Chain A
Amino acid sequence: MTQERISLEPAFLLHQLPYRESSALIDFFTHHHGRIRVLAKGVRSVAGRKARYGGVLQPFQPLLLSWGGRGELPLLYGVEVAGFLAPLVGNHLISGFYLNELLLRMTHRHEPHSDLFGSYHATMVALRQPRALAWLLRLFERDLLAECGYAIDFNLPGERSAALQADALFCCRQQQGIVPLAAESHCDGVALQGKTLMALASGRYEAADAATVLPQAKQLLRYLLSFYLGDKPLQSRALLQQQRPRSLT
């Protein structure tokens, strides 16, 4: 719970809920205070009155936030732009909603996640660059799992790092981690190759491996996330899938 007033804290807007006539309840992801919800007065326009912070209070833009007040619901005092990022368009925009939905579903309020904030900020910048969208999402999912205490353990038991041969097969099971998969045995979790694990550990992959690494990483992270997200489907993921058969998430 926030007691004092916080000034000019780096933050991103995650989601707005209309509240009363011209106010909103806004979820922000902040650098040092994790996810917070504040009451923002007068931020929606009503007849004759313009909305406060009109074009500034937008998702996917780095902001500087000031808020404070006692109790469960602090009050928003000010919003400033902290550097400008071009508006997200098309599937990158819907991917932005996907990242926000993940943060809203996976993090708890008032739990600081400084590293994850860095990762989110970097992802927001990268979403404006001509880079492979799917891989950006995978790396953020990796960081999110790690930050929430469900890190993928890339140190494998048994033969240790030597076992991480690019073509060796592994099996990942919910809550049991990743184990080498013996030839011809069955994996009831997600089967994947060493090169995918190496790519996720290092954040990069060889262009020639894209056809293996990308689908395997997607399957692995979706499998791991599904355990923590529960049965309720992610709306933004559904939207990305409906959009186009060409697989993006």
Chain B
Amino acid sequence: MIIERLIERLRIMPGIGPKSAQRIAYYLLDRNRHGAIQLADALVEAMQQIKYCDRCRTYSEVERCAICCDQGRDVTRLCIVETPADQIALEQVTGFRGYYFVLLGRLSPLDGVGPEAIGLDRLQQRLQEGEVEEVIIATNPTAEGEATAHYISEMVHQHALKVTRIAHGIPMGGELEFIDPTTLNHAFNRRVTVERFNR
């Protein structure tokens, strides 16, 4: 009974079917009971204590996340992303030193996800505070992501602030021949001037 329940519970994880769940359950019982207890504790702790940052909506165990608490960042720039994972990806490679706002989703009218569900009322307040000068919209280049970007840009324009959208184009290592038409069209039409390299 207990073991069946464990297998059943393990299946809530993404990509874990009955076979994998059974394998994991037996592995933990056979080889790593101590590790499994630690995992169970960590799960309980995380699920009970991790909330959303009251400023940017990312996951945080305290009221305000570390990035939002960092006074050294540039308050005039705000980058809008769909998920905490997107925020981390950008944070790791861009050297961006402004603040973030995490939507935890995207506008998707056909799924019933409207502006409130992605915290745009909160974003509105943030813009009204008057510190932000540029809003960088880094939602995904999907139809829903573009709709979200459009909606947000209209909102930001009402505050007469600068709005930028991350570029999209040919991925590194890609081959033009096999690139989808929308990306290729966009990359070509928004081509950039190549500056002369000065030593």
Contacts and interface: CB of A to CB of B under 8 A. Distances in A.
B180 A101 contact: no
Given A90-B150, A94-B147, A244-B154, A84 B181 contact: yes
B114 A104 contact: no
Chain A's interface: helix, strand, loop or mixed, by majority? Answer: mixed
B95 interface: no
A80 to B, nearest CB: 11
Nearest to B15: A21
B72 interface: no
Interface in A22-72: 46, 54-56, 58-61
Contact of A236 (B109, B115, B179, B186): B109
B163 interface: no
Contact of A239 (B114, B142, B180, B185): B114
Contacts of A61: 181-182
A169 interface: no
A89 B142 CA distance: 11
A7 interface: no
Given A93-B147, A239-B107, A56 B180 contact: yes
A95 B101 CA distance: 27
Contact of A97 (B14, B110, B154): B110
A239 B151 CA distance: 9
Nearest to B107: A239
A235 interface: yes
Contact of B185 (A84, A101, A238): A84
A47 to B, nearest CB: 10
B182 A97 contact: no
Contacts of B182: 55, 58, 61, 84, 87
Interface of A: 14-15, 17, 20-21, 46, 54-56, 58-61, 81, 84, 86-91, 93-94, 96-98, 100-101, 104, 234-236, 238-239, 242-244
19 contacts: A46-B15, A55-B183, A56-B180, A56-B181, A61-B181, A81-B181, A84-B182, A88-B143, A88-B146, A89-B150, A93-B143, A94-B109, A97-B110, A97-B147, A235-B109, A236-B110, A239-B107, A239-B147, A242-B115
Interface of B: 14-15, 107, 109-112, 114-115, 142-143, 146-147, 150-151, 154, 179-183, 185-186
